[in-house]
Amino acid sequence: MLKWLVLLTILALVSAEIHRIKIHKNQDHKNTRQHRKQAIQALKQKYNQQDVIIYDDGVPIYVQPDYGYDYPSQNSDDYTSEELGNSMNMYYYGLIGIGTPEQYFKVVFDTGSANLWVPSAQCLATDVACQQHNQYNSSASSTFVSSGQNFSIQYGTGSVAGYLAIDTVTINGLAIANQTFGEAVSQPGASFTDVAFDGILGMGYQQIAEDNVVPPFYNLYEEGLIDEPVFGFYLARNGSAVEGGQLTLGGTDQELIAGEMTYTPVTEQGYWQFAVNNITWNGTVISSGCQAIADTGTSLIAAPSAAYIQLNNLIGGILIQGDYYVPCSTVSSLPVLTINIGGTDFYLPPSVYIQTYTEGNYTTCMSTFTDIGTGFWILGDVFLGQYYSEFDFGQNRVGFATLA
Ligand SMILES: *[C@@H]1O[C@H](CO)[C@@H](O)[C@H](O)[C@H]1NC(C)=O
Ligand SMILES: *[C@@H]1O[C@H](CO)[C@@H](O)[C@H](O)[C@H]1NC(C)=O
Ligand SMILES: *[C@@H]1O[C@H](CO)[C@@H](O)[C@H](O)[C@H]1NC(C)=O
Ligand SMILES: *[C@@H]1O[C@H](CO)[C@@H](O)[C@H](O)[C@H]1NC(C)=O
Ligand SMILES: *[C@@H]1O[C@H](CO)[C@@H](O)[C@H](O)[C@H]1NC(C)=O
Ligand SMILES: *[C@@H]1O[C@H](CO)[C@@H](O)[C@H](O)[C@H]1NC(C)=O
Ligand SMILES: *[C@@H]1O[C@H](CO)[C@@H](O)[C@H](O)[C@H]1NC(C)=O
């Protein structure tokens, strides 16, 4: 009897083998208000949203400024002079290999999209982002096969475009054969210049993949390289570039969580979208029966327009040039934001939902609640960094747990 138990336990341990991948956090740039504007612009490009205009009785009461693709603009004396064309701030990335022998790329593991793309050695000389990054050279890989197709992924008014290649993609020693991905010969404007990552590895559902390409994680499971079609993130908020967190493939890393995982079903397969019971702040219900998506590829929290205005007003936010600021002296006394998912309350303290920026002798405190015109909430790294998040394709559910 005992023998059987021991054997069963060993079997369970073996079948629950998971793969831990160290992820890194960008620390190349100071976190400035300018980065934040770029992050908002990037988010709008990602979700293909136009500039946000909110009407009250036909009168525009709030117009989100057009930050442009090549911020800073002429009107930049408010901001540090740091030259930065990128629009992605605060991202987490990890290393993958493509081809035989492996060519290495740093990619953002992005639950808010579903395609893998990296810059191509065939990219245009005018593609500044490509010139700055690692480039995939298909001629140097013995396992490369051309699909004969092109690809294009829309980012706002521009697009990442090139050829669809088929090759071996290796994540943490797990070699996915015949993975289709984009080798980009052009990238829009300055969206991907001066960033620490080369490309993006989308971890959303195939339904949102451009050209209906099978995402890498699907093949990882289909080819039997992992036991469970499950992955999870621990994003270190105060991490370093070296210790940015962990992506777990094939299960959940129990060592990283404390207590039970709260699961909630995916309501629409595309993004990792789920229902939120309610979002409350100091007893005021901001939203109830709403939808949210968990997006590791953004740092911010985006709210539907009405909730965005209400919440920023409640925290005492003052709208300056399209951003809400609060007096820094009030931050420590602000109430927590409570998000009820699957019957469990998840908390965001003010030290997390307000970001502090120090520029010269001045410190400003800015709300992370932003609006890009979506009807659903986008819970980015500000939220995901507080909890362990699990993404389960097998049972089509998302789980959150307290960090150990
Ligand atoms: C790509 O690899 C091939 C074969 O190794 C090499 O001849 C070629 O110069 C490389 N191209 C670039 C742009 O690096
Ligand atoms: C792919 O794009 C190139 C130009 O970038 C074009 O010459 C070629 O015809 C396109 N191929 C397909 C299959 O669309
Ligand atoms: C990959 O494609 C090659 C050629 O089509 C095929 O022989 C091989 O079985 C495929 N491997 C997997 C794991 O799908
Ligand atoms: C973040 O790390 C720094 C350096 O290790 C430390 O001084 C600081 O107190 C930490 N902040 C938080 C919020 O843990
Ligand atoms: C929170 O609610 C209490 C009770 O209604 C109120 O007295 C307090 O001023 C509120 N706090 C803030 C920061 O609005
Ligand atoms: C939020 O939703 C949970 C779960 O449905 C419920 O128990 C709780 O009473 C709700 N809170 C408010 C303020 O409506
Ligand atoms: C910052 O403060 C220091 C000391 O008070 C002062 O010497 C310096 O001129 C200030 N710098 C700016 C840019 O205001």
Return the ligand number nearest the Cα of 277.
Answer: 6
Whether 51 is catalytic: no
Judge if 213 and 304 occupy the same domain: no
Q: Residue 74 pLDDT more than 60?
A: no
Judge if 263 and 242 occupy the same domain: no
Distance CA 34, CA 357 (A): 10
Judge if 240 and 282 occupy the same domain: no
- Read off the pLDDT of residues 279-313 as tens digits, 9 standing for 90 and up: 999 999 999 999 999 999 888 899 999 999 999 99
Which of the pair, 121 or 86, is modelled with greater confidence?
A: 121
Tokens for 56? 């009250």
**Burial class of residue 398 in the structure, from the number of CB atoms within 10 Å of its CB (0-12 exposed, 13-18 middle, 19+ buried):** buried
Q: Residue 156 pLDDT more than 80?
A: no
Indicate if ligand 7 lies below 6 Å from the C-beta of 362: no
The answer to whether residue 295 is domain-embedded is yes
Please give the distance, rounded to the nearest whole angstrom, from the Cα atom of residue 177 to the centre of ligand 3: 7
Judge if 231 and 255 occupy the same domain: no
Provide the domain count of the chain. 2
Return the ligand number nearest the Cα of 142.
Answer: 1
Task: Select from 201, 223, 246 the last residue of a domain.
Answer: 246
Whether 127 is catalytic: no
- Read off the pLDDT of residues 107-144 as tens digits, 9 standing for 90 and up: 999 999 999 999 999 998 888 889 999 999 999 999 99
Task: Select from 189, 211, 246 the last residue of a domain.
Answer: 246
Which residue minimizes the CA distance to atom 5 of ligand 3? 178
Q: Are 236 and 256 in contact (CB under 8 A)?
A: no
Judge if 135 and 234 occupy the same domain: yes
Q: Are 398 and 391 in contact (CB under 8 A)?
A: yes
The answer to whether residue 275 is domain-embedded is yes
Torsion of CA 75, 81, 83, 86, to 10 degrees: -60
Strands 344-348 and 284-294: unpaired
Which CATH number covers residue 231? 2.40.70.10
The answer to whether residue 78 is domain-embedded is no
Ligand 2-lining residues (CB < 6 angstroms): 149-150
DSSP code at position 223: T
Return the ligand number nearest the Cα of 140.
Answer: 1
From the candidates 127, 167, 198, 295, give the one annotated as an active-site residue.
295
Judge if 206 and 335 occupy the same domain: no
Q: Are 229 and 141 in contact (CB under 8 A)?
A: no
Which ligand 7 atom lies nearest to the CA of residue 360? 13
Which residue minimizes the CA distance to atom 13 of ligand 6? 285
Task: Select from 246, 269, 295 the last residue of a domain.
Answer: 246
Angle subtended at Cα 63 by Cα 57 and Cα 68, rounded to the nearest 5 degrees: 155
Judge if 286 and 303 occupy the same domain: yes
The boundaries of the domain holding residue 149 are 19-27+87-246
